[in-house]
Amino acid sequence: DAGVIQSPRHEVTEMGQEVTLRCKPISGHNSLFWYRQTMMRGLELLIYFNNNVPIDDSGMPEDRFSAKMPNASFSTLKIQPSEPRDSAVYFCASSKPGQPYEQYFGPGTRLTVT
Amino acid sequence: AQSVAQPEDQVNVAEGNPLTVKCTYSVSGNPYLFWYVQYPNRGLQFLLKYITGDNLVKGSYGFEAEFNKSQTSFHLKKPSALVSDSALYFCAVRDKGGGADGLTFGKGTHLIIQP
């Protein structure tokens, strides 16, 4: 099993640019979660999907953030326009049907906005 | 609302000694409780969970955790620490009665095992 795959692993961009983070969940998993990790705020849930449908996006910081899951094997998190305070590590996680709390995390994308 | 507190930013233990990483939680109902571990430059890995049943839960790599309802705690323990246990540990909670499936994580505790 390849595990959760995230790309890119590192992203450096300038303020105002659009950033797209990508995630491929583990095959057969039906829930997908996007988290953000910073030193100040720890690990925060941004949004999660169940069967490709967004269930809870209350953690999305503002309208600059959007997430999609067009099919069971792919999700994107987009930031437009990006700001320096968006610098963080963004994790994607997935879980099996019936076990949403045993989440399998990807390696993360380290985003730096200058 | 649900919340998790990990009161120690860092715990230092000598190799071979027992270790404890503390966690307390707050939920409106009954909790689901979890421990995850994060190694440098890696995503979080699931260690163990408490859903129901025995208060002492055993997990991966020889770790265990004890659910204490009266103290609203779920401390992570291991009888004999290894240097390879050095990592960042996260406690997480979810209210059983909650409508959402998202977990609330603590801020994490750095565990450092000294040879």
pLDDT (tens digit, 9 = 90+) per residue, B47-106?
Answer: 999 988 899 999 999 999 999 999 999 999 999 999 999 999 999 998 665 555 678 889
Per-residue pLDDT, A32: 94
Q: Whole-angstrom Cα distance, residue A97 to residue B76?
A: 27
Average pLDDT (A41-56) is 90
Position B7, amino acid: P
Burial class of residue A91 (count of CB atoms within 10 Å of its CB; 0-12, 13-18, 19+): buried
Give the confidence band of A1 by pLDDT, cuts at 50, 70, 90. Answer: low
For residue B2, the model assigns a pLDDT of 82
Give B45's contacts in chain A (Cβ within 8 Å). 105
Residue in chain B closest to A3 (alpha carbons) equals: B43
Are A62 and A81 contacting, i.e. CB atoms less than 8 angstroms apart? no
**Integer Cα distance of B72 and B60 in angstroms:** 23
3-state class of A84 per DSSP?
helix
User: Cβ of A90 under 8 Å from any chain B Cβ?
Assistant: no
Interface residue A55 vs chain B (CB under 8 A): yes
* Amino acid identity at B9: D
Interface test with A, best of B27, B41, B44 (most A CBs within 10 A): B44
Q: How far apart are CA A107 and CA A6, in angstroms?
A: 7
Neighbours of A13 (CB within 10 A): 17
- Looking at per-residue pLDDT, the higher value among B30 and A65 belongs to A65
- Pick the residue from chain A with its C-alpha nearest to B107: A42
Size of interface A-B (CB pairs under 8 A): 53
Q: Which of B87, B82, B73, B85 is nearest to B40 (CA)?
A: B87
